[in-house]
Amino acid sequence: MVHALRGIWRVLAGRGILVDLRPLSGQCPIELVSASTVVHIGEVDATGMAADDAASDRAVQDAVTQGHFLARQDSQFDFDLYWDNVQEMASFMGSSRRMKQVRPSYADLEKAYLVLSAEGPERVRLRCRRRTTLAVYRKADDSKFEY
């Protein structure tokens, strides 16, 4: 990560902007969503890369502490992922490095999905909300990153 930041610092113009955008590790709610209803039915454990995230945080913090970048802004928002059915969701989770463990089981999620779908003609989808962070830094004018 330090090498990546050093390279980015090099290719940024003076007072250039670095934006670090990534999801936060943690539990993400799974909901059933229709036009009229939102029902919480479970959670995804999205802590699969917590150690990597912590290392990234340290690398950025070190770059700031050493004066290579100046912190300008930090904000958070929800990044929504939607699936049309439980099978699509399971397929996505199978290929995700960050999101693995789903609670309750896919079978239980499927039951909840079928129950809500049977209540009316509205389209029902699954939604997972990922808390995401966006941090903005400015390349410091007078820093010298060795590379």
Partner 1 sequence: MASELDPDGVESRILLQATDFSNARVLEVGSGDGRLALRYANASAFVVGIEPQETELATAVEACASHLRQRVSFLRASALALPFRNETFDIAVLAWSL
| Site residues for partner 1 per CB under 8 A | 1, 3-5, 7-8, 10-14, 16-23, 56, 59-60, 73, 75, 77-84, 88-89, 91-92, 95, 125, 132, 134, 136
For residue 145, give every residue at least 6 positions away whose Cβ sits within 8 Å of its Cβ, in sequence order, or none.
Answer: 5, 6, 9, 10, 63, 68
Amino acid at 94: G
Which residue matches tokens 């959670």? 43
Element (H, E) at 37: none
Q: For residues 25 and 50, is the Cβ–Cβ distance under 8 A? A: yes
C-beta of 23 vs 45, nearer to partner 1: 23
Peptide bond into 104 cis (omega under 30): yes
C-beta of 3 vs 36, nearer to partner 1: 3
What is the spatial distance between Cα 135 and Cα 71, in angstroms, rounded to a whole number? Answer: 8
Smallest gap from residue 9 Cβ to partner 1 (A):
9
C-beta of 111 vs 127, nearer to partner 1: 127
C-beta of 91 vs 101, nearer to partner 1: 91
What is the spatial distance between Cα 145 and Cα 147, in angstroms, rounded to a whole number? Answer: 6
Smallest gap from residue 122 Cβ to partner 1 (A):
16
Smallest gap from residue 106 Cβ to partner 1 (A):
15
